[in-house]
Amino acid sequence: MNSSSAQRRIEGFPWPFDPDERTFRYSVNVADAKVPRQTATGSWGANIIDIDDDYLAIVQARDNVLRADPGRCAVLPHMLPATWDLMLTLMRELVDGYPEVMHLDEVGTDGWRWRNDLLGIDRTFVFGDLATLPEGPLEFIGRQVPDDLLLVSEREGQLWLDAGLVTFANAWSVKFDVGMNFHEIHGPVPRLTGEGTTKRAQRFMMMMTGDRMFRRVNWTFSSIGSRRMDASLETYDRWGWEKTRIVNDEDWGRVQLRVELEHFIRLPLTGALVFNIRTYMLSLAEIATVPEWADQLADIVEELPADIGTYKGFADWGTDAMRWLRAQSHTDAAAPAVAG
């Protein structure tokens, strides 16, 4: 990666905290989507789908995972209509955000022509006719967006995760979670259900109408010392050892703050809910170059209750990493700028 794209990644990073926030607790932290948000380095959030410098690398990473493990795309049979609905909705979002490279045109009475110039895709399809796509609609569109896609339906007064294409889960498994309800999925998260947040979050989602889209951010640290996206339970054997190595070597600069920008959409035709997750990562070495971010993150991590730190996976090393972060950011700030 050249230095300008590394810089753009910092400028577009969805910093997950408000400027004055010094403590963190779980909440139903939802806000309107597509409203650009300023940060200390730039801004984020103008589009539902963010096509940035990492787009091609992420599409390739997703392809690698799906080739090795096609089961990361799981659709319960009753969700097929919602997958078509999702595909068309995301195509429209892509055209809306990137009209110079994404194109959707109606062809005849029920046909469509979809072109994604970035991936060289030019496909004419009939809505609802599987024979006109190379794979199911969820996989077809999922291979063209950087986000993990979850489809949620409502029955018996609750929400159910009934379909998903998830190649970049952070220490969970889409195969395990598909078919589970909202309370079951959030059961492992400390305080969430006990303090009523799960119930309020579910109520919020059920009340959503099709005319407003929402978003929230979630943050944690990756257990992997690189921007490798697939930290799913399915591949635990390939990355599970990394945290021990980082801690033993005190290699704090490589620790990645992992931020999920999540969007919520009520689909127009089927009424199913979409929950899409775009993962961004920034290393502590990069965060150290932005002193206000470094200080704020250190304050928040140091204050966090032990049960949340344990769930997020850094209870035993977070304080050491934050000590390094504060010291490094002050060293960076004091260093003379390098010419050229």
Measured from the CB atom, is 51 or 192 closer to ligand HEM?
Answer: 192
- DSSP letter at 251? -
Residue in the structure block whose two tokens are 């999540």: 262
Shortest distance in whole angstroms from residue 139 CB to ligand HEM:
18
Count the neighbouring beta carbons within 10 Å of the beta carbon of residue 21. Answer: 11
Shortest distance in whole angstroms from residue 237 CB to ligand HEM:
18
Shortest distance in whole angstroms from residue 173 CB to ligand HEM:
8
Question: Which helix (H) or strand (E) is 177 found in, with range?
Answer: helix 174-177
Count the neighbouring beta carbons within 10 Å of the beta carbon of residue 165. Answer: 27
Helix (H, G, I), strand (E, B) or coil at 72: helix
Measured from the CB atom, is 7 or 218 closer to ligand HEM?
Answer: 218
Shortest distance in whole angstroms from residue 44 CB to ligand HEM:
19
Helix (H, G, I), strand (E, B) or coil at 38: strand
Burial of 336 (0-12, 13-18, 19+ CB in 10 A): exposed
Measured from the CB atom, is 152 or 261 closer to ligand HEM?
Answer: 152
Phi, psi angle pair for 213, to nearest 5°: -105, 150
The answer to whether residue 254 is catalytic is no
Shortest distance in whole angstroms from residue 16 CB to ligand HEM:
11
Annotated active-site residue in 62, 72, 216, 266: 216
Q: Which long-range contacts (CB under 8 A, 24 or more apart) does 329-337 make?
A: 329/287, 329/288, 329/289, 329/290, 329/291, 329/294, 329/295, 330/291, 331/288, 332/288, 332/289, 332/291, 333/291
Contact 51, 146 (CB under 8 A): yes
Identity of the amino acid at 7: Q
3-state percent helix, strand, coil for the chain, nearest multiple of 5: 40, 20, 40
Q: Rounded to an integer, what distance in angstroms lies between the CA atom of residue 196 and that of residue 181?
A: 16
- Give contact residues for ligand HEM (rule: CB under 6 A): 26, 28, 30, 150, 152, 161, 172, 177, 182, 185-186, 188-189, 192, 201, 204-205, 216, 218, 220, 275, 312
Contact 113, 124 (CB under 8 A): yes
Measured from the CB atom, is 201 or 282 closer to ligand HEM?
Answer: 201
Measured from the CB atom, is 39 or 220 closer to ligand HEM?
Answer: 220
Measured from the CB atom, is 256 or 329 closer to ligand HEM?
Answer: 256
Shortest distance in whole angstroms from residue 179 CB to ligand HEM:
11
User: Looking at the annotation, which residues are catalytic?
Assistant: 216
